[in-house]
Amino acid sequence: MSIDIFDVLKWVAVIVLTGFFAQFGRMIAQYIVRKAREKKEKPVQASSAPNDPAIEIEKQRLKLEKKRLKIEKKKLR
């Protein structure tokens, strides 16, 4: 029984590649799980924030001001 150097190198390469794929597969799985959790938690955080009427009024005022400026800009053309 003779052990060929190419057989040994082939098996070493297979083991190294398996470890490589296992490590990065694990990292990708953890990334996907983390993103799914963040996505799931986001709506809960947004819905629990109190709606301040003063902030909403200011947003509407700024929106109307932006529209007014846009109309004036069109008139000047």
Q: What is the dihedral of CA 65, 70, 72, 77, to 10 degrees?
A: 170
pTM, to two decimals:
0.40
In the chain, domain spans: 5-76
Tell me: the pLDDT tens digits for 12-63? 999 999 999 999 999 999 999 999 998 888 765 455 556 788 888 999 999 9
Q: How far is CA 69 from CA 10, 59, 64, 75, 76, in A?
A: 71, 15, 9, 10, 11
What secondary structure letter does DSSP report for 49? S
